[in-house]
Amino acid sequence: MSHVTRESLQSIKKSGVKMQLLLFFYNNPFTVDDLEGISMWVGMHKKEITREMEELCQMRLLVKRGTSHSYYRMTENSQLVEEVQKLIKEFYAQRKTKAS
């Protein structure tokens, strides 16, 4: 986990938008789309997700490509994918606890 710390990963759980974006990419791992498209897939405004997407890219959990027209996809780094998986499990476990 060279480019993302446990702390920064935990901070994702506090951001509802980031968590929703990460859940979407994790469940649909070969998604490749631009901001416009992703906003449609997750049902949020483009403005609402722009900054969060950039931050997820900085954490290297998402990969941004393209020059004039940027698009995003989930990281292919298996170590990072594993960390995301752990994070999502924790997220669901906490949600379950809260619900009960």
Partner 1 sequence: MSNIQTGITGLDEVLHGGIPRENSVLVKGPPGSGKTTLALQFLYHGIVECNEPGLIISFEEFPQLIYRDAQNMGWDLKKLEKENKLRVMCTSPQLVQEQLGTKEGFLADLIEEIGAKRVVVDSITHLQRLEQEPVKLRELFNKMINAFKREGLMPFIIAEAAAEKERLGFEEYAVDSVIILSQEVKGHMSTRYLQVMKSRGQNFITGRHTFQITGDGLEVFPRITAPRAVVNYQPSSQIRNSFGVPELDQMLGGGLIEGNSLLLAGGSGAGKSLLGLQFLMQGAAVGEPGLLVDLEEHPSQITRNAATLGFDFEELLHQEKVFTLCTSPVELDLNEHFYIIKKMVKEKGIKRVVIDTISNYEGCVDDPALYKDYIHALINYFKNNGITSVHITEVDELLGINTITFHKVSFLVDAIILLRYVELGTELRKALLVVKMRGGAHDKDIREYLIEENGIQLRRIDPEEMGKKLSFQHYNGILSETPRSVNRANSGQLLPGTGRHPDERQGDDYPGKNC
- Which residues from 51-90 bind partner 1, rule CB under 8 A? 65-66, 69, 71, 73
Judged by CB, which is closer to partner 1: 8, or 33?
Answer: 33
The separation between the first and the last C-alpha atoms of the chain, rounded to the nearest angstrom, is: 33
41 contributes a contact to partner 1 by CB under 8 A: yes
DSSP 4-28: S-HHHHHHHHH-HHHHHHHHHHHHS
Between CA 59 and CA 5 the distance in angstroms is 9
Choices 4-12, 33-41, 53-61, 83-91; region in contact with partner 1 by CB under 8 A: 33-41
Closest CA to 34 of 66, 1, 78, 79: 66
Choices 13-21, 29-37, 49-57, 83-91; region in contact with partner 1 by CB under 8 A: 29-37
Structure tokens at 49: 């997700």
91 contributes a contact to partner 1 by CB under 8 A: no
45 contributes a contact to partner 1 by CB under 8 A: no
| Binding residues vs partner 1 (CB under 8 A) | 27-34, 36-37, 40-41, 65-66, 69, 71, 73
